[in-house]
Structure formats: C-alpha cells, structure tokens
Amino acid sequence: MQYPKHVEIIEVGPRDGFQNVKEFIPTQIKLDIINDLIESGIKEMQLTSFVNPKVLPQMADASEVTRTILKSGKKPLRPIALVPNFKGARDAYENGIRTVSFVISASEKHNMANVNCSKEESVDTLRNIISSFYDLDVRLDIATAFACPFEGMTPEDSVHDLVKIANDAGVKEIVICDTIGIANPKHVATLCEKLLTSSTAPLALHIHDTRGLGLVNMLAGLQTGIRRFETAIGGLGGCPFAPGAAGNTATEDAINMFESMGIATGIDLEKYLKAVEVVKQRIKCDLTSRMCYARTYEHEKIKLDVRK
C-alpha cells in the first residue's frame, strides 16, 4: 500500500464542535481557542456558522468571531463558515468570509429537519449563491451520505446525484459526511472509490465517531485516494438535528494516526494538545478523543522531531 507523504486537515471544532455545547461559550474563549489552533499549524478552519441564532444560540457571535480573526491577519489561515441558506451566505460574505460550506442532505427528511427546506429548494439555493457571489468559494457538504436517522441507509444514487449537481454548478470542493457515524470501512471505501472517479471537484471526508470507527473509516478513505479530512478538537460535535449523532473524529487523534504513519499534517501535535487542554479547562463538555488523555513517550517525541 502506497501512502501519501502528506494530508490536509480542516478543523471544524469552533463550528461543528461548539454548536452542540448547550451553555454559551464566551466569545473571548472561542477566540483564544481558535488562535491556539492556528498557532499549532491549522491552516483551514470552520470558524463559525451564519445561522439564525434562535435555532443555534451558540453561533450568535458569528460576526464578532469572524471579524476579529480576519482583522488579526493571522496567516496562512483559510477561514471557512458554514451557511444553511442564502442569507447565511450573504452574511458570511459581508463579514469578510470568502469560503463557505453549504450543506445539503442526501436524504429528504434530514434536509427538512436540518435546514427546513426540501432538497430541491436547497439545490436552487446552492446555484443562487454561486451565481450571486462571483469570488466566493463554495464547498458542498453532503450530509447523511451513508445513512439517515429518519430514512435508514442512504442509496448511493442519492449521493451521486448531488455530486453531479455540485459539479455542474461549479462548487470548489465536495465533503462526504457520515453525519450519524454509522459507516464502516468497506462502505466508506466503496463510496469514495466511485465518487473519486466521477467527481470533477476534489473530495474531502467528514467522519463522525459515534460507534468508534472514525479513524479506521478515515484510513479507508485515505487508501482510496482521499487526502482532505474534516475533524474537530477533542472529538466535539454532532448534528443537533440528527438524533443519536455523537461527536466528530478528534483532530488530535487524526494527527497522531497520520504522523505516526509518517504522513505529514503540518500540525504540531504538542501545541495542538495545549489547545485541547484549554477546551478541557474552560468549556463544560465531555471530550471523547484518546490523545487528550494519553501520555507521550520519549521515543515518540524523537520521531516527531526527526520529521520536523
């Protein structure tokens, strides 16, 4: 098996991770954590979501978080915001964001629960966003790509149809999401292999760790040719509109897996774990990652130093 020399990790903790934390996280704490993540080497990050604060109160400070980080001028960071509708895209654009993730579920019922509209309406909105903001890079998150909490296993054709629509519309990247964390390595490999041959847009993988298969499913994606992965600090997250969906695959666990395999991530694990410690101390939440509780041995430090 030939493994790549490097992979790219997109941090989604400040958006997908924080959105499930019930108690509002003070804005300054969010900013401190985001800055720590940047210092560790994170180069792409979902900073927030421009969504109705009545639906997700945790994202009520989306503008302040975005403007503060953009004003700080920290480089080289590619800031991303998730947007569920046209208004969210416009708000993100007006706040300086030039890359957004727009979400459409492969299953009709989850799309209605998640963004309160049909898949067809979401597709129309996707096209409208792309045609309205010429310099906005739009990524499509295909939610429930493997299974839906309301409809069961997702037919592959439903995913392929959305990929074709996204390619025709001109999206910059397609993210295949295991929203409820029910996929297995064979399922991931089979779907990714087919999509990699049919999609003209690059693909990324967003895997939840509900049943403890997050890392092995990412590895299955890697072996088929996926090189970009979305993960969240501490394993935080889950979909508020998908019953039973647990957290994301933890970024620190992914960094450890890739780096120990000799696959560079460009992220300093020791610095990243300092950011994890801040989350543990300052946010009322349960972290599910392994590395936030594991100790580091001297021989591991030597290996990391050699790779640097």
Is 2 part of a structural domain of the chain?
Answer: no
- Residues whose CB is less than 8 angstroms from the CB of residue 153 and which lie 6 or more positions away in sequence, other chains included: 146, 147
Rounded to an integer, the average pLDDT of 187-216 is 96
> Confidence band (pLDDT; 50, 70, 90) for 238?
confident
Is 214 part of a structural domain of the chain?
Answer: yes
pLDDT score at 204: 98
Is 1 part of a structural domain of the chain?
Answer: no
> Confidence band (pLDDT; 50, 70, 90) for 300?
low
Is 3 part of a structural domain of the chain?
Answer: no
pTM, 2 dp = 0.93
> Confidence band (pLDDT; 50, 70, 90) for 145?
very high
Rounded to an integer, the average pLDDT of 38-66 is 96
Tally of domains within the chain: 1
Q: Regarding beta strands 147-148 and 152-153, do their DSSP bridges make them parallel or antiparallel, or are they unpaired?
A: antiparallel
> Confidence band (pLDDT; 50, 70, 90) for 273?
very high
Q: Which two tokens stand for residue 238?
A: 């889950």
Lowest mean pLDDT among 11-20, 71-80, 117-126, 216-225: 71-80
> Confidence band (pLDDT; 50, 70, 90) for 295?
low
pLDDT score at 242: 62
Kindly state the percentage of the chain with pLDDT values over 70.
Answer: 93
pLDDT score at 277: 94
- The enclosing domain of 229 has a CATH number of 3.20.20.70
pLDDT score at 199: 97
Q: Which domain holds residue 83?
A: 8-307
Which positions are annotated as active-site residues? Answer: 239
Is 130 part of a structural domain of the chain?
Answer: yes
Does residue 13 contact residue 234 with C-beta atoms inside 8 Å?
Answer: yes
Is 148 part of a structural domain of the chain?
Answer: yes
pLDDT score at 245: 63
Give CA separation, 162 vs 88, 169, 219, in Å: 21, 10, 24
pLDDT score at 75: 75
Q: What is the pLDDT of residues 158-179, one digit of tens each?
A: 999 999 999 999 999 999 999 9
Is 104 part of a structural domain of the chain?
Answer: yes
Is 43 part of a structural domain of the chain?
Answer: yes
pLDDT score at 307: 54
pLDDT score at 167: 98
| Average pLDDT of the chain to the nearest whole number | 93
Give the Cα separation of 150 and 159 in Å (integer): 16
> Confidence band (pLDDT; 50, 70, 90) for 308?
low
More confident residue, 295 or 84: 84
